[in-house]
Every structure is written in C-alpha cells, then in structure tokens.
Amino acid sequence: MTLEEIANDVRNCTLCNLCKERMHAVPGEGSSKADILFVGEGPGRSEDQQGRPFVGSAGKVLSKLLDSIGLSREDVFITNVVKCRPPENRKPLVDEVAKCRPYLEKQIKTIRPKLVCVLGATALEALIGESNLSAQHGKLINRRGLKLFVMYHPASTLYNNKMEAVMMDDIHSLLGILKNMDQRESGKLDDFSE
Ligand code: SF4
C-alpha cells in the first residue's frame, strides 16, 4: 500500500466518532523514505483546519528541533496516533486510539523507518504501554521489532520554557543513535571489534 492510499483511507474513515466533528482528517506527511517517523497525539485546531500535522505552535517547535540536527520536515515523516481532532483537544479515548492504530501500523510498514520517535504521553501509552514519560524520555525502547525513541511532546515547551533544553538534548541523542545505527549497517564499527 502506498502512503497516498493510506491517506485516502484516512480521509474517508468513519471508524470512530472523531470523524463527526473533524474539518479535515490529518493522515500525516513527509518522506516515504524517512529514517525517522514522528508520532504525536492527535491534530489540534490548526491541523484540523489545514489537514496537515504539526502546523501550529508545537509544529514550529518540532521544526526548530529538526533544524538543530540538520533535518527538515521533508526528511522525516510526521503523524499522530489519531488522525482526526478530538473535540476541545481532549486526550483521545482508548477506543479511538485502537480504531485508528491500523493506519499508523500501515504507515510504519510502508516507510520502514529506522526509528519511530514517540512524542508525548499519549503516544508513549499507545505504542509502548508505559505511562511515565519523565522516566522514559531520551530512551530507546525495542518493541515487536521496532526501535522506538521517546521524547516529550513539542507542545510541552509552550508551557514550560525549561523543556526546550531537555528536548534539544533528546533530539541530539536520537541523532547519535541514528548515526550509530548507520555505522553498524555500513560495518564501520566492525573495525573496532576483535
Ligand atoms: S480518528 Fe482514525 S479511526 Fe477515527 S475517524 Fe479518524 S481516521 Fe478513522
């Protein structure tokens, strides 16, 4: 399945009640060859209006974080655990996350990213089954053959100005992990083995 086919299915989806109040579904966007796939919670008001992920204030923070490691939005893939905006930006319900999950799984299978970056508590709970974000951020977790890296949600920097430094540290750790994986793939680390 192509990313566009998945996006079309999302735009026509009526599997959960979130379809009722959406202006636009927000399937996600970015490179089909992305090494990193970012997963946030769900679309907010701006995203719902434009049908694009992370275009509001949190999106600006994400772009800044990407820029700090020499990447742009076009280099990665950005999506959410639910593709339609929950009313009043409430947290998506367990049932909504479950119904929407197959779209995310199809996106991951199609792109086959090296890392899935989990942004915030809702994505952490949905993808890893953990609830303690402050204990898990900055960590690489293996689940069902996927490498998941945990970060705070970019929106957290809007309410707490100390969070930007924490997120900068984490995104640089992510870059380090990615570079290490690339070196292993290309066999360069073998030079150091016995
Ligand atoms: S949130 Fe997901 S499951 Fe619910 S209507 Fe939108 S696309 Fe379908």
What count of residues does the chain have?
Answer: 194
Interstrand relation of 146-151 and 36-40 (parallel, antiparallel or unpaired):
unpaired
Out of 3.30.450.40, 3.30.499.10, 3.40.470.10, 2.70.170.10, the CATH code matching 3-187 is 3.40.470.10
**Mutational pocket test of ligand 1: of 80, 94, 96, the residue with most ligand atoms within 8 Å of the beta carbon:** 96
**Dihedral angle over CA of 78, 81, 84, 86, nearest 10:** -120
Q: Which residue has the higher pLDDT, 98 or 181?
A: 98
Ligand 1 atom nearest residue 99's Cα: 3
**Which sequence spans correspond to the domains of the chain?**
3-187
Rounded distance, CA 167 to CA 160, Å? Answer: 12
> Does residue 24 contact residue 42 with C-beta atoms inside 8 Å?
no
Ligand 1 lined by 24 (C-beta under 6 Å): no
User: Which band of pLDDT confidence, cut at 50, 70 and 90, is reported for residue 188?
Assistant: low
pLDDT in tens, 127-173: 999 999 999 999 999 998 899 999 999 999 998 989 999 999 999 99
pLDDT in tens, 71-107: 999 999 999 999 999 999 999 999 999 999 999 999 9
Rounded distance, CA 25 to CA 120, Å? Answer: 21
